[in-house]
Amino acid sequence: MNKNLYNFIVNKEHHIYRRSVDWNLGKEYSEKGLSPMERMADRFERMMNEEKPVILPDEKIVFLRTVSNLPDCFSEQEWEELREKYYIHELGYISNFSPNYYDTISVGLLAKREEAGEYGKRAIDNILKLSDRYLEEAKKQGREDLVEILTQVPRHPARNFREALQFFRIIHFALWIEGNYHNTLGRFDKYIYPYLKADMEKGVYTRETALELLEDFFLSFNKDSDIYVGVQQGDNGQSMMLGGLDENGEYIFNLLTELCMEASCNNKLIDPKINLRVNKDTPKEIYIKATHLTKAGLGFPQYSNDDIVIPALEKLGYEHNDAVNYAVAACWEFIIPNVGADVDNIGAMSYPKAIDTVLHDGFMECETYEEFFAKVKAEINNECDRICAGIKNLWFVPSPFMNVLMGCNIAEGSKYNNFGIHGTGIATGADSLAVIKKYVFEEKTISKQKLLEAVDSNFEKHSELLPLLRYEAPKLGNNDDYVDSIATDLLDSFADCLKGRVNCRGGIYRAGTGSAMFYLWHADEIGASPDGRRAKEPFGTNYSVSLFAKVKGPVSVIASMTKQHFENAINGGPLTLEFHQSVFADEDGVGKVAALVKRYIELGGHQLQLNTVNTERLLDAQKHPENYRQLVVRIWGWSAYFVELDKEYQDHVIARQAYKV
Amino acid sequence: MNGIIFDIKEMAVHDGPGIRTTVFFKGCPLRCQWCHNPEGLSFKPQLMYKSKNCLGCDKCKQHCDHPECQPFKRCVHICPENCLSIAGRTVTAKDLAKEIIPSADVLGKDFGGFTFSGGEPLAQSEFLLELTDELKNFHLCMETSGYCDSEIFNKVIEKLDFVIMDIKLADNDLHKKYTGVGNEKILRNFEDLKQSGKPFVIRTPLISGITDTKDNLSKIQNIVGDSAWEKLPENNAAGAKYKMLRVE
Per-residue pLDDT of A386-405, as tens digits, reads 999 999 999 999 999 999 99
For the residues B103-120, what does the mean pLDDT come to?
93
Which residues of chain A does B9 touch, with a Cβ-Cβ cutoff of 8 Å?
Answer: 553, 661
Q: A245 with A324: CB under 8 angstroms?
A: yes
Determine the Cα–Cα distance for residues A59 and A2; give it in Å rounded to an integer: 8
Interface of B with A in 57-76 (CB under 8 A): 59
pLDDT of residue B244: 65
pLDDT of residue B247: 46
Chain B: give the shortest CA distance to residue A346, in Å.
36
Determine the Cα–Cα distance for residues A160 and B234; give it in Å rounded to an integer: 53
Closest-CA residue to A603 (of A554, A548, A656, A547): A554
pLDDT category at B5 given cuts 50, 70, 90 is very high
Helical H segments across A458-570, by residue range: 465-467, 481-498, 518-525, 554-560
Mutate to test the interface with B, among A550, A555, A562, A578 (most CBs of B within 10 A): A555
Asked if B10 lies within 8 A of A552 by C-beta distance, the reply is yes
pLDDT of residue A202: 97
Interface of B with A in 87-106 (CB under 8 A): 102-103, 106
What residues contact A551, with CB distance under 8 A and at least 6 apart? A475, A477, A478, A545, A557, A657
Asked if B10 lies within 8 A of A588 by C-beta distance, the reply is no
SS3 A637: coil
pLDDT of residue A657: 64
Which residues of chain B does A470 touch, with a Cβ-Cβ cutoff of 8 Å?
Answer: 82
How are beta strands B2-12 and B89-92 bridged, if at all? antiparallel
Q: A470 with A539: CB under 8 angstroms?
A: no
Which chain A residue is nearest to residue B107, measuring alpha carbons? A599
CA B194 to chain centre: 22
Is the pLDDT score of B234 beyond 90? no
Q: B20 with B114: CB under 8 angstroms?
A: yes
Q: What angle do CA A650, A652, A629 make, to 5 degrees?
A: 20
Closest-CA residue to A27 (of A85, A87, A71): A71
Determine the Cα–Cα distance for residues B4 and B25; give it in Å rounded to an integer: 6
Average predicted confidence (pLDDT) for chain A: 94
CA B7 to chain centre: 9
Q: A215 with A272: CB under 8 angstroms?
A: no
- The interface pTM score, or ipTM, of the predicted complex is 0.89
Nearest CB neighbour to A558, from listed B13, B18, B106: B106
Nearest CB neighbour to B110, from listed A467, A588, A595: A595
pLDDT of residue B248: 39
Determine the Cα–Cα distance for residues A103 and A122; give it in Å rounded to an integer: 19
Q: A99 with A402: CB under 8 angstroms?
A: yes
Distances (CA, A) of A169 to A69, A104, A223: 19, 12, 11
Secondary structure tally for chain B: helices H, strands E: 7, 10
How are beta strands A394-395 and A87-88 bridged, if at all? parallel
Question: pLDDT for A51-77, tens place per residue?
Answer: 999 999 999 999 999 999 999 999 999
Nearest CB neighbour to B106, from listed A464, A559, A583: A559
Closest-CA residue to A36 (of A80, A90, A75): A75
Q: Which residues of B167-194 are buried (b: 16+ CB within 10 A; e: fewer)?
A: bbbbbeebbeebbebbbebbeebbeebe
Q: Cis link prior to A154 (omega < 30° from 0)? A: yes
Which amino acid is it at A317?
Answer: G
pLDDT category at A157 given cuts 50, 70, 90 is very high
Determine the Cα–Cα distance for residues B23 and B26; give it in Å rounded to an integer: 10
Which amino acid is it at A523?
Answer: A
Query: Dihedral through CA A46, CA A51, CA A53, CA A55, nearest 10?
Result: -150
Nearest CB neighbour to B19, from listed A459, A470, A592: A592
Question: pLDDT for A360-378, tens place per residue?
Answer: 999 999 999 999 999 999 9
Q: Which residues of B75-97 are buried (b: 16+ CB within 10 A; e: fewer)?
A: bbbbbbebbbbbbbeebebeebb
pLDDT category at A42 given cuts 50, 70, 90 is very high
* Max mean pLDDT range (A521-525, A558-562, B36-40): A558-562
For the residues A169-196, what does the mean pLDDT come to?
97
Q: Which residues of A120-132 are buried (b: 16+ CB within 10 A; e: fewer)?
A: bbbbbebbbebbe
